[in-house]
Structure 1
């Protein structure tokens, strides 16, 4: 059996010519034009604590952390892959987050409301309005993903997305983290962010249908509530995804997770061996395997202390999973 920390909820995202992984710590591995794989270490992986870790609240903090770390990882990958020459400052990251948030709100919250409002009979029926609006929102999402999938650079990112999922499956199967072992696994994974997007679409329909049951409201109030209730929708979607991912063996739960897995057919592609290698390097680094390999009689006191710290964090991760 492979000697690495077991039972962690590992995962990440694809970046430009690389993969970002979260395990015991957060890292990103990128293949440079020369063929070399470089790794950037972002430090220990911590889940929301205290009230931030409460159900239906924690999802928003997890999502925020994923966005911030994702932008940093994308910046690093752009630099290492030779596509950018400037590094992002904290100000740049905040600005990028605001722009991304504004774009997402405009495209997936405001635009569906405006389009649905064009149909006068729907304006007086809040629940029907939310259903049609949600359908339009989902269509916009599907069209957006389908269109960007034709961009060659995005297609490669989607291949690295597949490499990320295959790497995670190999770890979850308690197999050695090798390309040979990873090849056979699916590119679709139930904890994927793509699945989260689809679940969010459904959660939004439910939340806004309930809101619509209280009576008709103006288009401005509709847009206001679509923005204000984003944390509620995200919190519900996160908890639902956690639940379905843990109970996929249940014949009643599995169908609920299938729409998200189907959507991943658009956002993941079959990776080649070199891309799988990058995904596995990223996962190994996220699991701190370089420290696990140092166990032995010749360990220094600092190394022993580090190993104890790592193993302690494994137990904490299991408790919080």
Structure 2
């Protein structure tokens, strides 16, 4: 099946933007999708969408997991497999939302096409946040404004450019109307989770009074990844080059880039534990300082939702919890994506 490049590019962009919005939550967490919200509860997730006719439709699905093995659940090990499974499930939810909203206008992507979309998104992320900052830091060295890759100044430039590219990327994608809508649903997801965690009865009106910022947000996770990567790259790359000194410059830089890509595994593991620690901390000065950068960044990746978007998020929460656990979640009438009659 031929998939136009423009369609593949749109999906790749949506995967990258959605990865900013994936919550690093071990129980009830979520992600904004196209005109809807995905909510996860343990081994299942629910997808709720606002359809073009104004109705809300939802579906409950199994959560694909890489961490059923006890070893992969260990602290400082679980971060990377959780990141991978969140990306896989997020891409599936995003694809399902796009297909449902198209209502037959587009043919569904095959499994290999989904895998290709994910690989394109991961490749684009590596280019933007690993290769480009390294290349710009090398340019600073050539201009006499920074040192060699063995020195600290090179990695300070690398971190500076990484942060700039990250912020610029968020700003650029926010200009797209469909991504702006996703950011509103992101805010609705956060408000609904806050409402649920309060222990009170949850409905759209109550969720509207909650904050759109959440300490376990995937945006905060990515910020922690960037900050930890700056520290580890500055410490470990010079150590690597102390023992591995190729004569050709291009080999040295290629090897350094591969080393940085490999460090994504321990970096994501550390970032996951840090975000969990920050979320569990009692309110106070230390907690405020640790949470502040991520919460400030969420002001760019969330917008205030309207009542209709909050209704969709509440439906997603109810379907993820199920009738028993979701007894205190009050939804508006909605139907299921597999055409089960509407529930009141």
> What TM-score, normalized to structure 1?
0.84
Paired with 2:26 and 2:121, the residues of 1 have a C-alpha distance of 30
Question: Which residue in the other structure is 1:86 paired with?
Answer: 107
Larger displacement relative to structure 2 (226-235 or 246-255): 246-255
Matches within 5 A, 1:68-83: 68-82=88-102
What are the superposed Cα offsets for residues 27-78 of structure 1, whole Å, 9 maximum, x if unpaired?
1111111111111221268654311111122111111111111111111111
Question: How far has the Cα of 1:292 moved from its partner?
Answer: 6.3
What are the superposed Cα offsets for residues 160-203 of structure 1, whole Å, 9 maximum, x if unpaired?
00000000000000111101110111111000001111111101
In the alignment, does 2:213 pair up with 1:188? yes
RMSD of aligned residue pairs (Cα, Å): 2.0
Match among 167, 173, 176 for residue 201 of structure 2: 176
Contact map agreement 1:31 1:80 (CA 8 A) in 2: no
Paired with 1:61 and 1:82, the residues of 2 have a C-alpha distance of 32
What is the DSSP-based 3-state SS (H/G/I as helix, E as strand, rest coil) of the residue aligned with 1:57? coil
Are the structure 2 counterparts of residues 127 and 54 from structure 1 closer, same or farther at C-alpha, using a change threshold of 3 Å? farther
Match among 264, 278, 282 for residue 316 of structure 2: 282
Match among 74, 79, 86 for residue 54 of structure 1: 74
Are the structure 2 counterparts of residues 48 and 116 from structure 1 closer, same or farther at C-alpha, using a change threshold of 3 Å? farther
Question: How far has the Cα of 1:119 moved from its partner?
Answer: 2.1
What is the DSSP-based 3-state SS (H/G/I as helix, E as strand, rest coil) of the residue aligned with 2:219? helix
Are the structure 2 counterparts of residues 141 and 124 from structure 1 closer, same or farther at C-alpha, using a change threshold of 3 Å? closer
Question: Which residue in the other structure is 1:4 paired with?
Answer: none
Question: How far has the Cα of 1:124 moved from its partner?
Answer: 5.1
Paired with 1:61 and 1:165, the residues of 2 have a C-alpha distance of 23
In the alignment, does 2:50 pair up with 1:16? no
Question: Which residue in the other structure is 2:159 paired with?
Answer: 134
Paired with 2:164 and 2:149, the residues of 1 have a C-alpha distance of 23
Paired with 2:111 and 2:315, the residues of 1 have a C-alpha distance of 27
In the alignment, does 2:174 pair up with 1:149? yes
Question: How far has the Cα of 1:125 moved from its partner?
Answer: 4.3
Unpaired runs of 5+ residues, structure 1, are 1-6, 294-321
Larger displacement relative to structure 2 (232-241 or 80-89): 80-89
